[in-house]
Amino acid sequence: MFGKKRVAIVGAGVTLFRRNLKETGKELSFHAAKMALEQAGMELRDIQSVVMGTAPDAFDGVHMKGEYLADGAGAYHKPYTRVFVGGGTGVFAPLAGWWHVASGKFDTCLVVCEEKMSSCYPHPQYAFTTIFDPILERPIGMNLIWIFALEMNRYMHKHNIKKEDIALVSVKNKRNALDNPIAQLAANITVEDVLNSEIMAWPVQRLDVSPTSDGAAAAVLVSEDIAKEVTDNPVWIDGVGWCIDSTYWTDRDLYYPDYVEYAARMAYKMAGIKNPPKEIDVAEPYDPFDYKELHHMEGLLLCKKGEAPKLTREGVTQRDGDLPTCPSGGLLGCGNPIAAAGMMKVCEIFWQLRGEAGKRQVPGDPRTGVAQAWGDLMQYGSVIVLRR
């Protein structure tokens, strides 16, 4: 065992994901946190520490939004930490929750992730222009979609991957989302729909991309002793990993996310996983764009480099396939409220392992699952392995 205490998730909660929700970020945080507590059969007074995950302040236009959101996350008069590693935040927040409890310092930790992107006008994408180097990159007119397009093109070039194969991910995830009550963009679409959708930044087209969203998600993490008191079916956090690559993104080969591999190896080593494709029953790799699911399956060592499109084509990643991937519908189907989206993936694995996923339930009584998020300037990987 790593740390002083084994750590379990005993409850999870999530709000609707929508382009624009009437609730404030604090209100969304409250709803998700309250639901997670209720599902755990616990009260706020049982919570000893709180971790908040939320992405750039620029979306909300509220500087230091960790403090702004604290009350909604149940942090009043408690030890409270906001963590932020770009798009990787949603899986990094439960990792931070893990060390709060694994260290032995706290028996319980409430982890809440929130994003409200709709406040930023005319489009939240513009807030991303300030992530680029102010001297060398911004004068070029950098645009967030470009970096995905540059990465996608490099990935396709290196392995000779066709857009048709990548589009299958969007088709699968949007269809999986039809069974998800929180989903923003659930749909039955075809590969042709993706290929005929508006070009944004070639090779990225409209239906290759997840939308911007508002939403929140939360989970209750507890030590083994508490877990045994409150539930008969805890889900254990058996592996954690995180890693960052260089910010000199024009000096790296973007075809493969090394840093995701390093994070995955760290998590698998801790979980005693030697053969990830065999030992992992269900996966939620980060899919803000369709090619990213493939890129991340490879980084997570769920297949060989360049092999993810083939597995997708063969149906291996369908909900009833050998390696169900994004059974939730992912970001492509559910929406992408940045930190909340990553956390939603952790919640989905929790529910899948508890057999509570209803119509989305993957068959075969899954025991081990992995969720992953990714962010910053194509450089951050966060990975969590859950087991029942």
Partner 1 sequence: MSVKIKHYPGEEVETKDFREGKVLFESFRPKAKYAWSAGIAISRFLEELKNGRIIATTCSKCGRIMVPPRIYCEKCFKPTDGWTYVKDTGVINTFSVSFIAADASRLKEPIVVAIINLDGASEGMGIVHRIEEYGDWREIKIGMRVKAVWKPPEERTGAITDIKYFKLVKE
Q: Using CB under 8 A, which residues numbered 29 to 58 contact partner 1?
A: 31, 35, 39
28 or 93: CB nearest partner 1: 28
Q: Is 199 in the site for partner 1 (CB under 8 A)?
A: yes
Q: What is the smallest separation between the CB atom of 79 and partner 1, expressed in angstroms?
A: 26
61 or 104: CB nearest partner 1: 61
Task: Give the residue, chosen from 77, 160, 232, 253, that forms a contact with partner 1 under the rule CB under 8 A.
Answer: 253
100 or 292: CB nearest partner 1: 292
Q: Is 83 in the site for partner 1 (CB under 8 A)?
A: no
Q: Is 214 in the site for partner 1 (CB under 8 A)?
A: yes
DSSP E strands in 55-183: the ranges are: 80-83, 108-116
Q: Using CB under 8 A as the criterion, what x/- string covers residues 166-195 for binding partner 1?
A: --------------xxx-------------
Window 149-168: residues binding partner 1 (CB under 8 A): 149-151, 153-154, 157
Size of the site for partner 1 (CB under 8 A): 71
Window 329-348: residues binding partner 1 (CB under 8 A): 344, 347-348
Tell me which amino acid residue 125 is.
Answer: Q
Strands 368-375 and 49-53, sheet pairing: unpaired
As a whole number of angstroms, the distance between CA 218 and CA 51 comes to 10
Q: Is 266 in the site for partner 1 (CB under 8 A)?
A: no
Q: Is 252 in the site for partner 1 (CB under 8 A)?
A: yes
CA distances from 344 to 93, 179, 282, 299, 385 (A): 12, 15, 14, 20, 14
293 or 348: CB nearest partner 1: 348
Q: Is 146 in the site for partner 1 (CB under 8 A)?
A: yes
Q: What is the DSSP letter of 366?
A: -
383, containing H or E segment: strand 380-387
CB 119 within 8 A of CB 65: no
Peptide bond into 288 cis (omega under 30): no
Q: What is the smallest separation between the CB atom of 233 and partner 1, expressed in angstroms?
A: 12
CB 53 within 8 A of CB 307: no
Window 302-331: residues binding partner 1 (CB under 8 A): 328
Q: Is 227 in the site for partner 1 (CB under 8 A)?
A: no
CA distances from 11 to 34, 111, 133, 250, 269 (A): 10, 10, 40, 42, 26
Window 349-368: residues binding partner 1 (CB under 8 A): 351, 354, 356-358, 360
Q: What is the smallest separation between the CB atom of 29 and partner 1, expressed in angstroms?
A: 11
Q: What is the smallest separation between the CB atom of 230 and partner 1, expressed in angstroms?
A: 15
Residue among 327, 319, 285 at smallest CA distance from 302: 285
Q: Is 126 in the site for partner 1 (CB under 8 A)?
A: yes
Task: Give the residue, chosen from 189, 195, 201, 270, that forms a contact with partner 1 under the rule CB under 8 A.
Answer: 201
Task: Give the residue, chosen from 64, 188, 232, 251, that forms a contact with partner 1 under the rule CB under 8 A.
Answer: 251
CB 182 within 8 A of CB 16: yes
Task: Give the residue, chosen from 4, 20, 103, 313, that forms a contact with partner 1 under the rule CB under 8 A.
Answer: 20
181 or 315: CB nearest partner 1: 181
Contacts 24+ apart (CB under 8 A), 34-39: 35/218, 36/11, 36/12, 36/110, 36/112, 36/218, 36/219, 36/220, 37/11, 37/13, 37/74, 37/110, 37/220, 38/11, 38/13, 39/10, 39/11, 39/12, 39/13, 39/220
48 or 231: CB nearest partner 1: 231
CA distances from 63 to 81, 104, 117, 301, 339 (A): 15, 32, 14, 38, 17
Q: Is 108 in the site for partner 1 (CB under 8 A)?
A: no
Q: What is the smallest separation between the CB atom of 358 and partner 1, expressed in angstroms?
A: 4
CB 15 within 8 A of CB 32: yes
120, containing H or E segment: none
Q: Is 246 in the site for partner 1 (CB under 8 A)?
A: yes
Among 45-53, 135-143, 230-238, 363-371, which window interacts with partner 1 (CB under 8 A)?
135-143
